[in-house]
Amino acid sequence: MKLVINADDFGYTKANTDGIVEGYKKGIVRSTTAMCNMPYLEYAKKRAEECPDLGIGVHLTLTMGKSLTQNKTLTDENGRFLKQAIIKSKELDMEEVYLEWKAQIEKYIEVFGHLPSHLDSHHSVHDFNEKQLAVASRLANEYGLEMRRHGRFKFVSGFYGPTATVEQMIALIE
C-alpha cells in the first residue's frame, strides 16, 4: 500500500502555501493542489521549486475568489464566485463551468510550465452532482489526468484542521 497525503489550497494564501511546503519538507505532504485563480499562485510556483518531487494538481474552484472567465451563472456582478450554498442550489451553465475549469487548468500550465499531476476541487464541487462530474471527467480525459475519488487511488478524508492528529492518522490508515 502506498499512502499519499495531499494538501489542498496551494496558492490560496501565503501562509497556507508556506504550510504546505513545510509539510513537504517534514516528510508528510507529497501532493498538493493549486488554486489557479488566487493571488498567491506565482508565489506557490516559486515555493514549489524547493520541493522537487511534490505532485501538484489543480484544485478546481467555483466557490472561492474571482473567476478567470466571463460568465453569467457562476459569479456575482464583481466577477467573484458565489457562495458554496448558492452554487449548490443554483442551475449552472455547464459550458461556463467547462470553460472556467479549463481556464484554471491552462493557468496552471502557463505558470508552472507543465501539466498538473491530477484534478480535484475546492469544496468537492467537481463531483457535487452528475453534471459537474461529467465536466470534470471530460477535462481529466482531455488532459490525461487522474481525478480525486474517480481514479486509481482510494480517497480517504478526515485529516485536516482539528482532526489532524497522530491518532486520527492511525485510525484512517487502519
Amino acid type, 76: D
- Residue-wise pLDDT for 104-117, tens only, equals 999 999 999 999 99
- Cell 488554486 maps to which residue? 35
CATH number at residue 46: 3.20.20.370
User: What's the confidence (pLDDT) of residue 11?
Assistant: 97
Indicate the length of the chain as a whole number.
174
From first CA to last CA, the distance across the chain in angstroms is: 12
- Residue-wise pLDDT for 43-74, tens only, equals 999 999 999 999 999 999 999 999 999 999 99
User: What's the confidence (pLDDT) of residue 155?
Assistant: 67
- Residue-wise pLDDT for 123-169, tens only, equals 777 787 889 899 999 999 999 998 887 777 766 676 677 877 888 87
Kindly state whether residue 123 falls inside one of the protein's structural domains.
yes
User: What's the confidence (pLDDT) of residue 76?
Assistant: 93
Cβ atoms of 104 and 81 within 8 Å: the answer is: no
User: What's the confidence (pLDDT) of residue 96?
Assistant: 96
User: What's the confidence (pLDDT) of residue 116?
Assistant: 98
Q: How far apart are CA 173 and CA 5, in angstroms?
A: 11
Number of domains in the chain: 1
Kindly state whether residue 41 falls inside one of the protein's structural domains.
yes
Burial 8-20 (b: 16+ CB within 10 A, else e): bbbbbeeebbeeb
Residue ranges of the alpha helices (H) in the chain? Answer: 14-25, 41-48, 84-89, 94-112, 130-143, 166-173
Kindly state whether residue 72 falls inside one of the protein's structural domains.
no
User: What's the confidence (pLDDT) of residue 25?
Assistant: 97
In terms of residue numbers, what domain contains 124?
6-61+92-173
Kindly state whether residue 83 falls inside one of the protein's structural domains.
no
Helix (H, G, I), strand (E, B) or coil at 98: helix
Cβ atoms of 35 and 60 within 8 Å: the answer is: no
Kindly state whether residue 78 falls inside one of the protein's structural domains.
no
- Residue-wise pLDDT for 10-52, tens only, equals 999 999 999 999 999 999 899 999 999 999 999 999 999 999 9
